[in-house]
Structure 1
């Protein structure tokens, strides 16, 4: 945890408590619905979930109802069409093409229509990660996006054999307002289409910078943060707390709770609980002091379960750890079973080791990969000694104690092979890895990172392009899993544990353990007292 941010969080919560003391709270101990608080499981510093930072921090938890996806992942793993935003049609033919038709009344909170240019921007960012600082792997299978500027219709054309996971494109938080990006970049929205249609790095550079940095919550710019979902951002506090209010331009159903505050993990949950404003929380520890489930009058139900995401190690894409031989040597000393056990003990949720890239640990297909992943799950100290004397700096996204426990398990297993694993701390993102960027001269250059490997939760469906996770595509999936282990860009460790606390007076909170977490349907949350009001 960033100590400065933690202090600011405590001060902000203290100010909130003081303000409630001045304005008054209800005598039943609850807070007014306007003070509804939702605490995330990590500190989110951007609303752009397509950036390296946003993808690492699971910004989707905040952005899912600001910038909704074309498809919404449901609590049972299904992909639900978001027809308030768009409809889709898959065209027949050997080369997959998908036609997207945006709703005529899909509009940003500043009154600007949502058009195909917004999606063209997401496509360009996904195709040029070194320039934009993006992380949207599924765009690697897209050949082109056909868009007439200002149109409500566009077509995505996939490379031959690609696009089986097309429903994962344009997910929550990855499509942001192109007109706001253009304004920040100093070009007209009319000219943006021409710029995006080019591969001219110099013309694209200001667009990439605005797309990457313009949605920062540390430097909140209201003109950038216009949304097309049921919520919009009203303000951002000093500790990163984000006040959401209803977006009056949203054509769908209005949020049942018109105002709520989303708090980062570094905020003090006990202070919020004592103030009566913490309604929903994603927990980062198994038995927090501020919850006594056996206490009389305890308002919270606590749910713990193995999640949909996979805790994985992502290697630097440049520098020494981009070398396949070095990665393989390190992976040979990684004990996934020990890492899963450490995660289970620290989180209080029993989770299994999981070595499959292409499908999640909860997918029934996962057991059909045993012969492929089994050999990679065995510790081989002789093979690992090829990296004897090397140091690997492992950072992790978020600040959960279990991440440090998992890294300690890696240290214990790898030190036997002479490999020194160093805990580089939390709050790290993909951008902290050594990676490639496009320089001012237009050349790709290596950017030295502060870490070599990042421990983070990943969504197998959107992280790895490949066949759809269904039984009839198992042969293709198995071949792609072998290829993933051959490339070893990442190393799956274990199922991610999840824990949630929900005030019993809040209805319609549906547990979901994917990237958006509980926030996937936050616009449906409703305080019981409000629900009973005529």
Structure 2
């Protein structure tokens, strides 16, 4: 049997919760064993698909790219086990400067170089900003949060230094998380393929034609298809690992990046197995050493005694995101559906498998879309829901529909046993109200299918993500309801909710956040663009003999520190 663990680079300073501490193994124990005892390759299973190298596109953000590539495409920060952005000094430094507007001086590590030999430069930061800023709509970016608040990125092409100046009054509070792991894509690749030798010049001049070509590549040029050769010139790495190959039979193979300037990876090879790899079969054949999946999502996946397994609530908000056209074109129809969704039953049956929390994450039905149960403001904000929409109210649902039956197609990335059970429970509860609920889960499902009318609702996590998701921030969930933001797959539009999302991004005063969040929830419960269910429970299983593997129930998943993993026989 094989085994897995925590970043040893000094960036992880916070105390890990009890469930995490129980599974962490002191790395010093690994040092007591001989090199011959170490397994040269570790298998890592994720409950999502790997369809792109770029985690910042609409479909990329909902995929498993962040779980797989956090230590392949590094950045100024990474998301630790508590869902918080932590500085990554290996990549560079970011220092606030004095002035009327928020200004950050970025210095990329002088030794930072991509695996193809091209230096990491401020050009890469400029591309990340351009893609996420909303100024250039050619980019199909998942979110504009933070990047839209930047006025300009001062960068001399090829330099290691950049000065990022935010717009007056738009001091993005969580600026540390910008330009983070998987956010910074290689600008030199996009420029070369697009035929634009000066990406910085094209962005600064607003060259529409050049930016259109760059965006066309950025949107789709880094797509991944099992069996196709991974050209190292197209998929260069800025982390301790680089992508070596990707096949259905062999998984995504990450190998040590010889050009990595930081500490050498503790294990030379990691194989990432996406959910369409038949994870239960891979477990049976001994290919999985770290398993990071939604609880009870993968049928037949039982790690057994050879693993230390923890199931805990995550920072991802399991929810139904509703379309705002078609069958759900009216708030009445959306509220009718909400009236028959058995939220309390879903939490009782599916929301806390194997654990009981008296407070905080995972302690009950989720009654807010933008505040988490471990936030001080949550009791007041969640109180807006009251006792409404906890149990099916067939009469209220039928009355809201006006006697007109409807059919609701609920999509999610399948197969997923827990989500299939969720849809089945909703279907049974809603049928008496004249609402037929169809399970539209499919292996190729993407949340953007909601925008194109392929389904009527998405069942997923924060911002409709289908695997690991969530941080300790209110910003991503708020922006998933903001007009024009990519992750607003239901195309919900309320000017005040959009204003509140923008205010939450810059206003850190507890009183303001309480008032803004409460106001937003009043609107959201009245217009029902989504239905919160519970904090998604996540299961992390780590083979015994693994060292430094630590669960990360956030968007980064357990792979956040895979370069420190050591597995001893």
Between the aligned partners of 1:392 and 1:130, the Cα distance in structure 2 is 31
In 1, are the aligned partners of 2:317 and 2:536 still within 8 Å (CA)? yes
> Relative to 1, partners in 2 of residues 1:270 and 1:451: Cα closer, same or farther, differing over 3 Å?
closer
What is the match of residue 430 of structure 1? Answer: 447
Pair 1:86-2:123 in alignment: no
CA contact (8 A) 1:255 1:524 kept: yes
Q: Using the TM superposition, give the Cα deviation of residue 175 of structure 1 relative to its aligned residue in structure 2, in angstroms.
A: 1.7
Map Cα deviations across residues 449-475 of structure 1 (whole Å, 9 max, x no partner): 312222221126233355479995243
Displacement of 1:234 after TM fit?
Answer: 0.7
Q: Paired residue for 1:209? A: 216
How far is 1:114 from its partner? 1.5
The structure in which a higher percent of residues are helix is: 1
The aligned runs of 1:117-156 (5 Å cut-off) are 117-128=123-134, 131-139=138-146, 141-148=148-155, 149-151=157-159, 152-156=161-165
The answer to whether the 8 A contact 2:77-2:176 is kept is yes
1:42-441 alignment, distance < 5 Å: 42-92=48-98, 95-128=101-134, 131-139=138-146, 141-148=148-155, 149-151=157-159, 152-158=161-167, 160-188=169-197, 190=198, 192-197=199-204, 199=206, 201-218=208-225, 220-238=230-248, 241-284=251-294, 286=296, 289=300, 291=302, 293=304, 298-316=305-323, 321=328, 326-344=333-351, 351=362, 352-374=364-386, 377-378=389-390, 382=396, 385-387=399-401, 388-397=404-413, 399-427=415-443, 428-434=445-451
CA distance in structure 1 between the partners assigned to 2:413 and 2:447 by the alignment: 9
Q: Deviations over 1:358-379 (max 9, x none)?
A: 3333445433423224366446
Aligned partner of residue 109 in structure 1, secondary structure: coil
Shift of 1:416: 4.1
Q: CA deviation at 1:73?
A: 2.1
Contact 2:307–2:543 under 8 Å retained in 1: yes
- Could you give the per-residue CA deviations for residues 97-143 of structure 1, whole angstroms, max 9, x where no partner exists? 33322222222111112222212222222234863222124146414
SS at match of 1:131: coil
Query: How far did 1:306 drift?
Result: 1.2
Provide the rounded CA distance (Å) in 2 between the counterparts of 1:113 and 1:308.
35
**Is residue 31–residue 277 contact of structure 1 (8 Å, CA) maintained in 2?**
no
CA distance in 2, matches of 1:204, 1:470: 33
Q: Secondary structure at the match of 1:36?
A: strand
Shift of 1:86: 2.1
Conservation of the 8 A alpha-carbon contact between 2:414 and 2:441? no
Partner in structure 1 of residue 563 of structure 2: 523
TM-score (normalizing by structure 2): 0.76
- Asked whether the 8 Å contact 1:138–1:463 carries over to 2, the reply is no
Superposed displacement of residue 318, structure 1: 6.2
Change in CA separation of 1:53 and 1:261 when aligned onto 2, cut-off 3 Å: same
Residue by residue, what CA displacement relative to the aligned partner does 1:75-115 show, whole Å, maximum 9, x if unpaired?
23443211111222234556433332222222211111222
SS in 1 for 2:258: coil
- Point out where structure 1 has 5 or more consecutive residues left out of the alignment: 1-29, 435-447, 530-534
How many pairs does the alignment contain?
A: 480
Instruction: Kindly indicate whether structure 1 or structure 2 has the higher relative contact order, using CA contacts under 8 Å at least 6 residues apart.
Output: 2
* Structure 2: gaps spanning 5 or more residues: 1-35, 357-361, 463-469, 479-500
Q: Is the 8 A contact 2:338 2:389 kept in 1?
A: no
Mapped partners of 1:337, 1:209: distance in 2: 44
Whether the 8 Å contact between 2:105 and 2:162 is mirrored in structure 1 is yes
Distance, in Å, in 2 between the alignment partners of 1:504 and 1:494 is: 31
Distance in 1, matches of 2:414 and 2:281, equals 21
1:78 and 1:340 mapped to 2: Cα distance?
26
Give yes or no for contact 2:303–2:541 (8 Å, CA) kept in 1: no
Counterpart of 1:457 (choices 450, 461, 473) is 461
Distance of aligned partners of 1:178 and 1:63 in 2 relative to their CA distance in 1, 3 Å threshold: same
